[in-house]
Structure 1
């Protein structure tokens, strides 16, 4: 019995297939440059945290996050740096810090919170920290931030 027809990818012949590249523009930066920027931001965040400037640290790390293919290492560095910020922030400081961010930065923060929740065992961060930030962020931004984070194809 002939079964080789089952191994044909028929979607590559379909003209109506949507690819991620068709839905958003690729990151114009070179992957090596993105990695270098992520490392520089990590250093800047550490100095901001040493000065107890959580809002400044978040603004630095959430500004033009890495997305797209070939930037996995930069994404990991950015996520770990962001999780350090979230973990070192006192609960009473969360709402004012979130309010100081722009709407784009708030949406990007929501993406990173969900990415942190998707990590196996949630990585080095406590679940209550991520859930607390999610709660406060949703209180400030409403459910619109959740919808924008879920529907944006630019994955951080």
Structure 2
């Protein structure tokens, strides 16, 4: 009995199949350029943190966040920079910081919080820090922020 029919990719013959590349516009920047921009942002964040400007540091990290399959190094560097900001913020200041962010920045922050929670062993950030930020962000931005972060195809 011939069982080769089980190895046929029937989606290749379907005209209505949705490809991963059609779900969102790819990042137009070159992967090397994205990595260099992320390194530059990390330096700017350090200088903002030394001045005590948490909101400015968060805006730097969250603006133009790298996405796409070919910029993993930049994504990890951006996450590490964000974790530095999260760890250096007092829990009493989180609500005011989150309120000062734009809706897009809040959504991107939620994506990073989920990425941090999804890391094995939570990476180099404690779970209480991420959950504290998640709680305050949800209070300020509402559950819509969670839905937008979960349904956006552009992964940070």
Provide TM-score, normalisation by structure 2: 0.96
Residue 96, structure 1, aligned to residue 96, structure 2: yes
Alignment of 1:38-53 (within 5 A): 38-53=38-53
Contact 1:54 1:85 in 2 (8 A): yes
- Distance in 2 separating the partners of 1:12 and 1:67: 27
Deviations, residues 22-45 of structure 1 (Å, cap 9, x unaligned): 121111111111010010011111
Residue 79, structure 1, aligned to residue 79, structure 2: yes
**Residue in structure 2 matched with residue 125 of structure 1 by the alignment:** 125
Structure 2 gaps of 5+ residues are none
- Distance in 2 separating the partners of 1:84 and 1:59: 14
- Distance in 2 separating the partners of 1:86 and 1:19: 36
Alignment of 1:15-34 (within 5 A): 15-34=15-34
Cα deviation, residue 125, structure 1:
0.5
Contact 1:20 1:153 in 2 (8 A): no
Cα deviation, residue 13, structure 1:
1.8
Cα deviation, residue 52, structure 1:
1.2
Provide TM-score, normalisation by structure 1: 0.96
Deviations, residues 80-135 of structure 1 (Å, cap 9, x unaligned): 11111111110011011101110000000000000000000100100000000000
Cα deviation, residue 68, structure 1:
1.0
Residue aligned with 1:91, SS:
coil
Between Structure 1 and Structure 2, how many residues are aligned? 156
- Distance in 2 separating the partners of 1:134 and 1:88: 16
Cα deviation, residue 77, structure 1:
0.3
- Distance in 2 separating the partners of 1:55 and 1:83: 14
Cα deviation, residue 69, structure 1:
2.0
